[in-house]
Amino acid sequence: MGKLDKIADFSGRLGQTFAGMVKILLLSRRSTVVRDAQPGDELVVLGNGPSLNETVGNHRDFLASRKKLAVNFAGNTPLFTDLKPDYYVLADPHFFGHTDKNVDTLWNNLSAVDWQMTLFVPASVKSDRLDAISRHPHIRLSRYNTTPVEGFRWFRHWAYRSGAGMPRPRNVLIPSIMLALGAGFRTVYVAGADHSWMKTLSVDEENRVVSVQPHFYKDNDKEKARVSSEYSNYKLHQIVYSFYVAFKSYHEIRDYADSQGVTIWNITPGSFIDAFSRRKI
């Protein structure tokens, strides 16, 4: 890197750091994430990719002996009451500001939980549903900040440690892994993180971008229509850039995990994530 490139890189990081400070001041709230992992505890983050069915079917003993974290609409599947996750993460505003059958079913299923579970939700969200769930005898409501921070490494890592911000949360898996670190786990496994969206990305004859994002469960027609409607507003370069943001965030998480002495294993067969070391179970 030449001198001018170094100057440009420093200036860019300085600007990002300043912008990150402003974002934290304006957007971040008090984090209530608790470091409750016990020595020797390991956590499996259960993504919603189609490979999760294979992992659950072939490695039930592995999952049974570790803490588990589930996300999004996993609560609407039989695996939810089967695996009884210790943690659950919601990030998308759709879960709090909309009413449709899928969302209503999810909150009903969460309300029926009869085991101890921590529910992580964005600190900025206010909802009658959260007010009700906060009184649940088996659920501990924990709030976290989704504020995206970039800039100098020392600043990013300070924001991560304090819970004031995180790498850009392009999808729910990013805050999920960061929350696993925030809870104090020293070994984290990532399952169901196929992230093979590029295999299903295409453009139809009317220049509409088609992106199929399969899950381990089958989305009903209404959920497919909702996702399709959202993607209809985006151009191809915007979607490809969002992929870039996600995969870059994983490398930022890996760098932070290494600095904290935390090991993250990607146990997802065929995963496109190249940031975490692979492990077969």
Of 85, 86, 89, the residue nearest 72 (C-alpha): 89
CA 187 to chain centre: 17
Average pLDDT value for residue range 186-191: 98
Helices and strands in the chain, H and E counts: 12, 10
Query: How much is the pTM?
Result: 0.92
User: How would residue 227 be classed by pLDDT, with cut points 50, 70 and 90?
Assistant: low
Closest CA to 120 of 174, 78, 186: 174
> To the nearest 10°, the Cα dihedral for 90, 92, 93, 95?
-50
Query: Could you read off the pLDDT of 30-53 as tens digits, one per residue?
Result: 999 999 999 999 999 999 999 999
Instruction: Considering only the C-alpha atoms of the chain, give the largest distance between any 2 of them, rounded to a whole number of Å.
Output: 61
DSSP state of 261: T
C-alpha distances out from residue 83 to 45, 63, 185, 194, 206, Å: 12, 8, 19, 20, 43
Give, in order, the Cα–Cα distances in Å from 213 to each of 49, 147, 193, 223, 269: 8, 25, 11, 11, 16
pLDDT the model gives residue 5: 80
Q: What pLDDT sits at residue 233?
A: 79
Write out the two tokens for 218.
């089958």
Instruction: Quickly state the pLDDT bin for 217 (edges 50, 70, 90).
Output: low
Split at pLDDT 50, 70, 90, the class of 208 is confident
Per-residue pLDDT, 132: 92
**CATH number given to 3-278:** 3.90.1480
pLDDT at position 268 over 80: yes
| Per-residue model confidence (pLDDT) at position 2 | 76
Quote the pLDDT of residue 206: 85
The yes-or-no verdict on residue 232 having pLDDT over 70 is no
Minimal CA–CA distance to 204: which of 176, 182, 231? 231
Q: Tell me, what DSSP letter sits at residue 148?
A: B
Backbone dihedral region for residue 40 (phi beyond 0: left; psi -120 to 50: alpha; all else: beta): left
Mean pLDDT, rounded, of the chain? 92
Mean pLDDT of 68-80: 96
Place of tokens 């009884």: 84
Instruction: Output the pLDDT for position 255.
Output: 98
Task: Give residue for tokens 């392009």.
Answer: 170
**Both tokens of residue 104?**
């209503």
Q: Is the pLDDT of residue 188 over 90?
A: yes
The secondary structure of residue 90, as a DSSP letter, is: -
- Coil/strand/helix, residue 42: strand
Which helix (DSSP H) or strand (DSSP E) does residue 74 occupy?
Answer: none
Where residue 224 falls among pLDDT bands split at 50, 70, 90?
Answer: low
What is the per-residue pLDDT for 1?
A: 66
The pLDDT value recorded for residue 100 is: 86
Q: How confident is the model at residue 216 (pLDDT cuts 50, 70, 90)?
A: low
